[in-house]
């Protein structure tokens, strides 16, 4: 920093005392004498006006003032010198004050001037005028950018296709065009100035107040979402999904709301759910009708056709005895063999349609018989673990569980390439849990969505009809696993719902009937 005076002027003691403060000031500091010659300038001012210390000291202050403002500035300084006021902010007298850089660039400034007295060249006291100059160019540029951003935000807010509004202290202060259309108004004036609660149906207003309070108490970045009904200007109701949040950068009472009309979506979803329920009911009715038809056909095959074939066999046997020793007896013997094969086929068909033991002996006996049959047909081992007492379930659930086991075994025979299948059915709490697991190749990805593959889909539908859950996965160690959980009826029968499993070989006193085996392994056929 240069000395505080030029020529032969004596240094001013007061200027030297504050030299450190002036030198380190962030704002420009310039001192001039009564002739408007610069006697003191700090580094901030040099940087601001784009000149060197040598160029500035001793030069006229007008070099830093645009030509059109120089006369006014000189007159202002003269009036200030004649008055008793010690300092003055020039920004209070002018709306626009500009400085002039060394390269000719004009820039806005604020100026505060003050006067003091220092020793002149003849040792006499003379006034000095000190100006504190602040560059406003960066600040004005930032303000312009903020103003432009606000304008762009308002335009985006105004033309946004989603309805939005802003409230302050629960009063609507701004709505965009989409919101005006959504609420059935003709202009924003019909909505602004009203409490936001008036837009809602009476049943939704208290809920809205609580939601708004939660939004105000939540962190500024939190978003509160809910769905309520609004009342349009024409009196119609619309179901609206609302997203509420405190407007960033505003006070805590300024809230922004985004409204999304979900009336059609909600109605569509309700219609789809109703249709789904109706289809599920139809599916249940068709399944029940099919099971009843299977039961009827199976019973007729077993009773009517089976009895007729048995009677025919007895008649042929008597004829064979009467033809003893004749050539015709061999033909009768062959007919009896064919008849035995036919009877076996009829029994198999009847059992495949619906095993009579499911109705006569119960679920456990039917599952164990089914396991034995599949073990014999597929030449694999099928292990069955069941509770000693059957679960207290209704006939429809018993049939569903049997069909689920049957379909699982069908899937194993067609796709799994397994050598061992484990079937377990237990009562766990208020649920019946059925698990079928094999040691095959497991489920490939996307099996449930495979085109024209309805095995797992049909099983899933049966489970859903009984309000249950089904999971199909590949457990650790390989293979595939299906786990089904069905809720027990609300009023269980008066019997023990869960008993420990006992190995069949440990119950020597138990008959060998499959309906009472608690654990059974169906071996491969020899």
The fold adopted by the segment(s) 358-522 is Heat Shock Protein 90 (3.30.565)
Q: Which residue has the tokens 């959980």?
A: 485
What pLDDT was estimated at residue 438?
Answer: 93
d(CA 92, CA 390): 97
CA angle 66, 72, 73 (to 5 degrees): 70
Q: Are 72 and 111 in contact (CB under 8 A)?
A: no
- Token couple for 306: 């089976």
Q: What pLDDT is attached to residue 325?
A: 63
Spatial separation of the C-alpha atoms in residues 423 and 375, rounded to whole Å: 12
Helix ranges restricted to H, 39-116: 43-49, 53-56, 67-82
Cβ atoms 421, 380 nearer than 8 A:
yes
Kindly report the pTM of this predicted structure: 0.47
Checking 110-116 for CB contacts under 8 A at 24+ apart, the result is 110/134, 110/136, 112/87, 112/88, 113/77, 113/80, 113/87, 113/88, 114/86, 114/87, 114/88, 115/80, 115/81, 115/86, 115/87, 116/14
Q: Would you state the pLDDT for residue 469? A: 93
Task: Tell me the CA distances in angstroms from 226 to 210, 252, 271, 456, one per residue in order.
Answer: 11, 20, 21, 37
Handedness of CA 198, 201, 202, 204 (dihedral sign): negative
Pairing relation of β-strands 420-428 and 381-386? parallel
- 28-32 vs 38-41, strand pairing mode: antiparallel
pLDDT score at 269: 84
In the predicted model, residues of the chain with pLDDT beneath 70 are 1-19, 84-95, 117-125, 218-222, 248-252, 325, 446-454, 491-526
- At the fourth CATH level, the homologous superfamily of domain 13-135 is PAS domain (3.30.450.20)
pLDDT reported for residue 92: 45
User: According to the model, what pLDDT value does residue 484 have?
Assistant: 94
185/234 Cα distance (integer angstroms): 9
Report how far residue 178's alpha carbon sits from residue 160's, in angstroms, rounded to the nearest whole number.
7
- How would DSSP label each residue in 261-295? E-HHHHHHHHHHHHHHHHHHHHHHHHHHHHHHHHH
pLDDT digits (tens, 9 = 90+) for 456-467: 888 888 898 888
Check whether domain 143-261 has CATH 1.10.10.10, yes or no: no
Tell which residue, 516, 478, 486, has the closest CA to residue 499.
516
């Amino acid at each position: 920093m240069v000395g505080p005076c030029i020529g032969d002027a004596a240094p001013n003691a007061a200027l030297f005392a504050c030299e450190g403060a002036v030198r380190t000031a962030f704002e420009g500091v310039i001192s001039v004498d009564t002739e408007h010659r610069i006697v003191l300038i700090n580094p901030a001012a040099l940087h601001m006006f784009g000149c060197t210390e040598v160029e500035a000291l001793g030069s006229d202050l007008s070099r830093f003032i645009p030509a059109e403002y120089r006369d006014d500035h000189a007159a202002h300084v003269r009036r200030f010198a004649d008055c008793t006021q010690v300092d003055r902010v020039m920004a209070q007298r002018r709306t626009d004050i500009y400085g002039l850089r060394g390269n000719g660039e004009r820039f806005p400034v604020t100026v505060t001037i003050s006067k003091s007295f220092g020793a002149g060249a003849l040792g006499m006291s003379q006034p000095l005028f000190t100006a504190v100059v602040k560059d406003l160019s960066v600040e004005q540029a930032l303000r312009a950018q903020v103003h432009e951003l606000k304008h762009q935000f308002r335009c985006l807010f105004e033309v946004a296709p989603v309805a939005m509004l802003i409230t302050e202290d629960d009063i609507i202060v701004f709505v965009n065009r989409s919101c005006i259309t959504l609420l059935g108004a003709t202009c924003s004036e019909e909505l602004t100035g009203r409490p936001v609660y008036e837009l809602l149906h009476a049943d939704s207003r208290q809920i809205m107040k609580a939601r708004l309070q939660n939004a105000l108490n939540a962190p500024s970045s939190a978003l509160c979402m809910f769905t309520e009904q609004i009342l349009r200007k024409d009196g119609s109701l619309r179901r609206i999904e609302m997203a509420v949040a405190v407007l960033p950068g505003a006070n805590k009472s300024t809230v922004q709301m985004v409204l999304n009309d979900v009336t059609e979506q909600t109605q569509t979803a309700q219609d789809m759910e109703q249709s789904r329920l109706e289809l599920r009911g139809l599916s249940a009715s068709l399944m029940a009708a099919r099971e009843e038809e299977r039961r009827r056909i199976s019973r007729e095959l077993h009773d009517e056709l089976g009895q007729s074939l048995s009677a025919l066999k007895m008649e042929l046997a008597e004829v064979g005895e009467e033809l003893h020793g004749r050539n015709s007896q061999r033909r009768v013997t062959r007919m009896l063999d064919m008849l035995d094969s036919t009877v076996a086929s009829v029994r198999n068909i009847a059992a495949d349609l619906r095993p009579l033991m499911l109705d006569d002996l119960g679920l456990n006996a039917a599952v164990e018989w089914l396991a034995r049959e599949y073990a014999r047909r597929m030449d694999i081992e099928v292990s069955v673990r069941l509770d000693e007492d059957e679960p207290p379930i209704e006939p429809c659930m018993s049939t569903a569980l049997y069909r689920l086991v049957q379909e699982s075994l069908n899937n194993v025979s067609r796709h799994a390439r397994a050598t061992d299948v484990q079937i377990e059915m237990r009562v766990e709490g208020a649920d019946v849990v059925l698990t079928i697991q094999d040691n095959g190749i497991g489920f490939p990805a996307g099996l449930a969505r495979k085109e024209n593959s309805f095995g797992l889909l049909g099983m899933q539908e049966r489970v859903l009809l009984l309000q249950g859950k089904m999971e199909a996965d590949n457990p650790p160690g390989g293979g595939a696993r299906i786990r089904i959980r069905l809720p027990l009826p609300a009023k269980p029968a008066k019997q023990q719902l869960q008993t420990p499993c006992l190995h069949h070989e440990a119950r020597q006193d138990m008959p060998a009937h499959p309906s009472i085996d608690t654990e059974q392994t169906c071996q491969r056929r020899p």
